Structure formats: structure tokens, C-alpha cells
Chain A
């Protein structure tokens, strides 16, 4: 959005408040507020889950197929879209096989932790068109923190499955997350230096300012354009953080069978699988918010959610592209890249950004 003079919806009124106003629940005090927050959460959750439902059984197959010279699903419904329902029925109606050696309840909790941590992250993401559940001052830190919880879920899944492949996958997940969380957060910090705030709405608003004015239109001040170096660093660290190619160590199909998720079946598998997609989308959401201007885009403000969704899907598309085209690095190489490469670069980036921001200020 170029002329960001109109009232920025996302920063002023949060979704629960608006719902409260709309339904009149605000008049019932705390209970009403809670209820409207809950309704808001259900709306946001459904939105995100609907996206993963499209992405998991359908879009992923279609995208991979077009990269790999295949047609893939095309029988049920137009372009095979009905596979979503068919897959849901199939997955949910399967027997949930729980290994004898599974360490319960850790085994049962792991999928929930993986899914929950990702869903929590969306609470602070401004999705445009006024859809944002909460806007705390520590928004970005909160998003990083809850996304990081997922690695606990992976370790739990890995160790509680009682399977050596799972264990190896879980161990890799920890090593990887520890190594890449730091560059991820440090690179995120450079954005905070620009925006001067951890609050998501402030970061988004700051990016709506024009960077270069071209008269008729203007190039917005998205931090991906202001600091492409940080953007690339963050993107790489993010792929490692969510365990996508070329960093899909914890799963490593062909090496570890399916890594930490080897022993999960039926509903649990759905959850784990869902969690993966949620984390890709959460990663995409954080990237969109802090580097791509969040819901910013041409057209009226109400289109914000569309732009935002497109940006998330862009990141998702990129993960699938990499999956088809890029080899997997080895675990020791991954750790080496993380500690010796990305960490140093991310601090260099932080220092540089600080210097630039200081000079401008």
C-alpha cells in the first residue's frame, strides 16, 4: 500500500475487540471479552488450518508434480481438489498404531506440542483486513519463542517413539534448531533495529512508508528491499528452522525412513504432518510480516488478507521448489553452515544494520 494514510486497521483495533463490538459481547465484561477472543481465535485457526488442508494433500502434490514432470491427482473433483476430503477420511479412519516401546504420554503429547506451538505463533501475526488476535509489544519475540517450542515436540516424538530412526531424527532436530535459532533471531533483530519496536503492527506500519517515490507509484519500504542481505539470511535460517530442504535432516526420507515421525500413524500422523505445514506457514507469516510488508499491497486495505496469504504461499512455494531441486546437506555440514557461516553473517548483518540505522538517525 503506497499511500498508507488511511487508518491502519490492524494496528488500531484487534479482531476480538471488533468481534465484541459486532456481536455486543463487549457489554458482558471479562466473560464477553474472553468469548469474543475465543471466537476470533477460532476464525484465525480455521483460516490457517484451511490453508494447510489445501496445502498438504493437494497443493503440495500439484506443485511437486509440476516440478517433477508428472500430472498427479486429477480424478476427484476439479483438478483433484476433492482429494482433501478423501485424504481426511482416509487418514482419520486408519488404525492408530502405537508402538509397544512408546513412552507415553510423551508420545501422545508430541503431535499436540508441534501443532500447538505453530498455531500459537499466529496469534500475533497481523494478517491484514483487521485480522490480528493480539498485538503485544513483544510480538516478534513471542512468535520466535512459540515457534521454538516445536523443537521440544520433535525431541519428544523422536525419543518417545521407541524407534532408533525416530531417535536419530529427534537428535538431529535439536542440533539443527539450536544451531539455526540464533541466526534466525539475530537476523530478526536487525529488522527490529529498523522499526524500533518488537510490536508486529509497528513493524508492518514502518514498512508501508515509500522507499522510492516514482510519482504514480512508489516502492514500499519493505525490509526485504531495504536489507536484502538480512532477508536471504533469514530465509535460509528459516528453512533450517522448519526443517525443509536442503535442511530436512530431522525427517531425511531415504536416510532415516521418516525420522522423528516414523512411528506415527492415523490421527497422530495427521497432527504431525499438519504441524509441519503450520510451521512452514508460520515461518512464511513471520517472513511476510517482518520483511515483505505483511498485508501491505496495492488496492484497498480490505485486500490485506489476500496479499498476506499470497506472500505466505510464496514462501510455501519456495519450500516445495527447493524440495524438488536441491540436495540435502549432511548433518555435520548443516551444523557447520549454521555455526561457522550463518551465525557470523547474522551478527555482521546486525552490526551493519545498527551502524546504518545509527547514521540515519
Chain B
């Protein structure tokens, strides 16, 4: 796939080049594949609900599908369905969908959790919102909605008009009451929902043995805003695009918008003009720098304390980017700048001024990064705090479906911008940063170096934009007023957001609104690994690990 010529992409998608592989897969699955399905992004195999673990572990061990990117559940008229979107960390374009239908009367399916740890939360979410039950799941509770919620909001028979009447006693405080166990030396501690280190409204149920963390369980859902459902009730053409800005709301707006743009453009076969792709690439990388600056600043808050200068320094530098983005999009955070088939408008006039400002920023950036290295990563205390804490081994990270700087900090070379190219990335000269430390320090370094790589990308985009012939500056493709993709076309598409792989699954039902709209949030998957990273370490390490994951609760809870 290259250069964003989407028709080529399309032809590749519908007829996967790897025909031989598919035969091998058929051989591997044998009788267990009861039917075939074709998704736009990947071939699909339909399997029995009882074969999930066997099939997924075979695919992982024999065929190399080691990345369970997402689990999508949905209800049809006659059945429930869970789709396991599989990929390879080595080659994310090699995708595979495992479709597991279950009957409406008895929506029970085998859990994939023993094979992929990441399935834990993904299946809990599917149970919570759709109502599919997963047999053998270690802890099948609601995850986004309160325990007392009646019904499953995205299932077919759910009555949205009906108020949720919950008695006071039922609606008990989710924060566990103080309790004492006679034979135990541990202490239970609620970190959050209101706590300075949770970066939003997150509740971490922690069991402490002295200062040592014995057990951690993040409790999420405080910021659940029905984003998937809202997207399902908006039209493809205009009404969905404003929502992605609100997932990872801190600075990554354009990156999120691109996730939806990429999915819908592949689904509706829209070709984006190259000029618009260059603007998108530049805008997205500006967002990435802003987001990484924020990540660095808040991580410093966690390690330094609340009065650290680093936080304000990163905000000072981020502010320059916010100004640039405001000039470009007209908004500081909720950009709503991408359109299906392009971007809303061209660069602001006078263009020279915009270029000059952007170049000024890029010129100053190396000195600023050097300052951060002086102030933060070069500091001995910072190093003793961060090196070898929050250790996340590559295999564990993969099993949890971690992506972005989190997995790259564990030495896994996985970046969708390079491995599954979109936009203008494959025409530009830049590198994917990986670090082998697997610890908090590696993740911080990874982000700081990615900032420099993003700057490289922006610089090249600026060069291109400056020299672009004036009569070829098409910012939008010709897209029909109403988009109605064929019924029952399914696609799962992901982009490299600031936090990792941000994926969108869309199933069209023949109308101008999605039949199912599923968001695969990188923060959601990354946060799952927190327990693995912090158990056995000290409280300050838990806080630092949480900071180094760089989660945004708006994206975790959606």
C-alpha cells in the first residue's frame, strides 16, 4: 500500500495478496472454520463459540498472529457476534478476523483471555455494552457502566427511553469500604477516583503490603460518554468527525480524527488528494508533539511533585504548537479539521507567516529537547527512580495488546505509520524509535525521541507544502453528500495515535449511519498492563508507571 491512492488499497484489501497464506490458514483451522467472511481489511473465518481458545492459540503459535488488536461484539437480528481482530506485530498489514457467532437465546462464547491477556477487558466491555457472555473469563463484570446497570445499551432490545432506576442501597459507593482482615498484613487503598496522580477520573484499587504494592486493579468507566453509540447515530459524512477529538482530548485531536477518516475513506472508497494528505500528516505530527509534551510534563508531576518546573516548561512549548494548530484549524483542542476525503480548508493565509512560525518552532525544538534531557533524563535521581521500575517485558506487552510508545519502550518495533502506511508517511524520511529498557525510563526516552522524529516529518511536510503548485492544492476529494456504503461491509482500520494503535471498526447496514461503530482505544489496552508493571514494586513506582503509560481517561472510557 502506498501513497494513499485508495483504489489500489481497495483492490489489495478485497483480494489479499497472501493467497497462499490463506490456504495455509484454512489448513490450520480445518473443520473448525465453519464459514468464511470477507472484511475489507482482512479475511474472516467463522468459528464455533467453543473453539475460540484453540483457534486463537493455534493462530498465535503456528501462524504468528500475536496481536489481538481488538474485540468487537455486536448484535444482529438473529445472532450475537464477537469479532477478534488479529494482527502480527511483525507485520500489521497481515490481518485476520475471527468471527464467533452465538445464538440470541444463549449468547455464550468461550473467552480468549487465557490466550491473549488483553481479551480480559475487551470481553468485559463486550459483555457490558452488548451482552455477550464469555465462558472461562476470569472476572466477567461490567467495566464501563455501574454494576447496577440494567440491560446492555448497545444490544438490540435495549430501551434507551427507560430510565435506570436504581435504589440507593443497590447503587452503593464503588469505593470499597474500610475493612480489616484479621489474618492479613496488607492494607487496602483506594487511589482515586479523585487523586492527583490519576490523570483524570481513574480509580485504582490497590492492596499494599507496607509500601509495597501487592495487588492493583484499575477501575474505569467514570468518563464513559457513550461515544460509540453517539457515532452510531451520526451520519458518516459530517456528524461523526467531531467526536474523535473528544476521545483523547488533551492534544491528539487530529490523530484521532485520522482514525475515523481512514476507516470511512477505505470503507466508502474515497481517494484523498495528496496535498490534503501532506497537511494531515503535518497536523497529526504537530498533535503528536503536543501530546508527548503533555505526557512528559505530567510524568514529571508524578515523579517530581506538584511544583516542578518541568511541567510548566512542557506546557510553554506545547503552547506554541497549540497556536500553530489554532491557526491551521481554527480551534485549540476540538479541531474538527479533517473531512471525509480531505481536510476542511487549506493552510491559513498568509501562508508564509504560517510557515515561518512553524519553522521557528522547529528551529527552537532541538535546544528545548536538549534542555529536557539536561533537566530530566540526565538527572541522577530521576534515573534511579525510573530505570528498572515499571518493568514491562515485551512478551507481556504484546499479550496485553500494548501499542505506541509503551510497546516501543519495551523494544517491540511496531509503528503503524511505517508498518501499515497511510497518509504521506511512507514518502518521508524518518525513523521508528524503540528502546530496550522495558522500564519507565525507556518509555520517557522513547517519547522524547519521537518528538524529534515528528519534527523531522513536519519539516519535510513544510517543504512539500511550500513548493506545492498553486493549482494543485486540492484539500478535499469529491465526496457524495450522503455516504451509504453497501450493507454488511465491515472494516477495521487503525492509525498510530499519540498513545498507540487507535482503531475503528465500522459495519455498514446500508444506511447513512454505521450499523456498528467500535473504537479500539490504545489507552484502554495499555492501562490493562498496569498491574503487571507495578505489582511487587513500591507505591511511588506504581504512580510513576501509571504516568509512563500516558493514559487519557477520555479515551479509556470513551
Contacts and interface: CB of A to CB of B under 8 A. Distances in A.
Interface of A: 64, 67-70, 164-165, 168, 172, 245-246, 248, 252-257, 323-333
A181 B309 CA distance: 30
Contacts of A257: 195-196
B309 A324 contact: yes
B382 A327 contact: yes
B305 A245 contact: yes
B538 A330 contact: yes
Contacts of B312: 68-70
A164 B180 CA distance: 13
Interface of B: 187, 189, 195-197, 211, 300-309, 311-313, 316, 375, 379, 381-382, 384-385, 538-541, 543
Given A67-B309, A70-B312, A331 B381 contact: no
18 contacts: A164-B189, A168-B211, A253-B196, A253-B305, A255-B540, A257-B195, A257-B196, A323-B308, A324-B308, A325-B308, A325-B309, A327-B300, A327-B303, A327-B382, A329-B384, A330-B384, A331-B540, A333-B384
A329 B187 CA distance: 23
B385 A327 contact: yes
A70 B309 CA distance: 10
Given A164-B189, A255-B543, A257-B196, A329 B385 contact: yes
A98 B209 CA distance: 28
Contacts of A172: 211
Candidate in B196, B211, B300, B305 with the most chain A CB atoms within 10 angstroms: B305
Given A64-B307, A172-B211, A323-B308, 19 more contacts: A68-B308, A69-B309, A69-B316, A164-B189, A168-B211, A248-B305, A253-B196, A254-B305, A255-B197, A255-B539, A255-B543, A256-B539, A325-B309, A326-B379, A326-B381, A327-B385, A328-B381, A328-B540, A331-B538
Q: Is the interface of B mostly helix, strand, loop or mixed?
A: helix
A254 B189 contact: no
A64 B304 CA distance: 14
A327 B381 contact: yes
Contacts, number: 84
Nearest to A164: B189
Contacts of B195: 257
Nearest to A332: B538
A281 to B, nearest CB: 18
Contacts of B308: 68, 323-325, 327
**Lowest 7 CB-CB distances: which A-B pairs, in order?**
A68-B312, A324-B309, A253-B306, A68-B309, A254-B197, A327-B382, A327-B381
Contact of B211 (A67, A325, A332): A332
A68 B316 CA distance: 10
Nearest to A67: B309
B316 A246 contact: no
Contact of B307 (A165, A323, A332): A323
A330 B540 contact: yes
A165 B196 CA distance: 12
Nearest to B306: A253
Contacts of A168: 211, 539
Given A164-B189, A254-B196, A254-B543, A328 B309 contact: no
B304 A164 contact: no
Nearest to A167: B187
A329 B300 CA distance: 13
Contacts of B305: 245, 248, 252-254, 323, 328
A153 B302 CA distance: 27
A330 B541 CA distance: 8
A324 B312 CA distance: 10
Candidate in B300, B307, B313, B543 with the most chain A CB atoms within 10 angstroms: B307
A172 B538 CA distance: 13
Nearest to B384: A333
A324 B382 CA distance: 13
A246 B313 CA distance: 19
Contacts of A248: 305
Contacts of A328: 303-305, 381, 385, 540
A168 B539 CA distance: 10
A235 to B, nearest CB: 16
A164 B307 CA distance: 23
B309 A252 contact: no
B211 A331 contact: yes
Contacts of B300: 327
A245 to B, nearest CB: 6
Contacts of A324: 307-309
Contacts of A70: 312
A1 B302 CA distance: 45
B15 to A, nearest CB: 53
Nearest to B187: A164
A78 to B, nearest CB: 24
Contacts of A332: 211, 538
A213 to B, nearest CB: 40
A88 to B, nearest CB: 22
Contacts of B306: 253-254
A253 B195 CA distance: 10
Contacts of A246: 381
A326 B376 CA distance: 9
A255 B538 CA distance: 11
Candidate in B187, B197, B379, B381 with the most chain A CB atoms within 10 angstroms: B381
Nearest to B383: A327
A69 B320 CA distance: 14
A257 B302 CA distance: 11
B194 to A, nearest CB: 9
B460 to A, nearest CB: 31
Nearest to A61: B307
Contacts of A69: 309, 312-313, 316
A205 B537 CA distance: 51
Nearest to A326: B381
B384 A68 contact: no
Nearest to B540: A330
A45 B458 CA distance: 60
B463 to A, nearest CB: 32
A70 to B, nearest CB: 6
Contacts of A255: 197, 302, 539-540, 543
A3 B466 CA distance: 72
Contacts of A68: 307-309, 311-313
Contacts of A252: 305, 540
A248 B307 CA distance: 12
Nearest to A328: B305
Nearest to B302: A254
B433 to A, nearest CB: 23
B547 to A, nearest CB: 9
A236 to B, nearest CB: 12
Contacts of B381: 246, 326-329
Nearest to B375: A325
A70 B307 CA distance: 12
Contacts of B379: 326-327
Contacts of B539: 168, 255-256
Contact of B301 (A64, A254, A256, A329): A254
A69 B297 CA distance: 14
A308 to B, nearest CB: 27
A332 B540 CA distance: 10
A71 B187 CA distance: 42
Contacts of B540: 252, 255, 328, 330-331
B250 to A, nearest CB: 18
Contacts of A329: 381, 384-385
A251 B393 CA distance: 32
A42 B307 CA distance: 34
Candidate in A64, A254, A330 with the most chain B CB atoms within 10 angstroms: A254
Contacts of B307: 64, 68, 323-324
